[in-house]
Amino acid sequence: MTHQRRYASESLKRFEMEECNLTSTPAEPRLQLSKNTDEDDIDPTQYKRLVGSLKYICYTRPDLAYNVGIISRFMQKSKVSHLAAAKRILIYLKETLDYGILFPAANKEKECKLVGYIDSSWCSDAEDRKSTVGYVFMLGGASIAWSSRKESVVALSSCEAG
């Protein structure tokens, strides 16, 4: 099993979240973050450290990739709601410290299939109407490749998204 339990625990301590309540999801349902808010700005250095730590953890935690990608969009002008979303991911991390990537042992009796999934959130960003597309490939039930990124152009139809 590949995971980063120690690094995740140190991150919780570094950002003073080791005593937080637990949550079973990394983000609020249908969370919409925006650059244009009347909220107070936050310390950009601390926010960048937090996002950087979460990005590092994503190497063995594909379940965090989408939400970390979303909060990464607000590195230049971080607001209170962006920090709250980042801390929510940390809270989820505390609940799931033992999660990681499990590669199956070589078993000749069990078939090891390669499976891929892709999805797109067509025009979901309220700021610029761009889609977020993501994929995951799994070998024997273990994730081996994944990505989540915002498209560089606006899709004019759902066929173009993804």
64-92 pLDDT, tens digit each:
988 999 999 999 889 999 999 999 999 99
Q: Is the pLDDT of residue 155 over 80?
A: no
Q: What are the extents of the domains in the chain?
A: 5-95, 103-162
Specify the pairing of strand 132-139 against strand 114-121. antiparallel
Residue 1 pLDDT class (50, 70, 90 cuts): very low
Q: What share of the chain is helix, strand, coil (3-state, %, to 5)?
A: 30, 20, 50
| Alpha carbon distance 11, 34 (integer Å) | 26
What is the reported pTM?
0.69
What is the pLDDT, as a whole number, of residue 110?
A: 67
* Token pair recorded at residue 119: 């999805």
The contacts found for 149-154 with CB under 8 angstroms, 24 or more apart, are 149/69, 150/69, 150/73, 150/125, 154/123, 154/128, 154/129, 154/130
**Residue written as tokens 């994929």?**
135
Confidence of residue 138 (pLDDT cuts 50, 70, 90): confident
Q: What is the dihedral of CA 7, 10, 15, 17, to 10 degrees?
A: 100
Instruction: Using pLDDT thresholds of 50, 70 and 90, give the confidence band for residue 119.
Output: confident
State the pLDDT at residue 24: 92
Number of CB atoms found within 10 A of residue 159's CB: 8
Measured in whole angstroms, the distance separating CA 124 from the mean position of its chain's CA atoms is 16
CA dihedral 52, 141, 93, 32 (to 10 degrees): 70
> In this model, does residue 121 exceed pLDDT 50?
yes
Q: Tell me: the pLDDT tens digits for 4-16? A: 889 999 999 999 9
Query: pLDDT tens, 9-44?
Result: 999 999 999 898 999 999 998 888 888 878 999 999
Ranges 47-56, 70-79, 105-114: which has the least confidence: 105-114
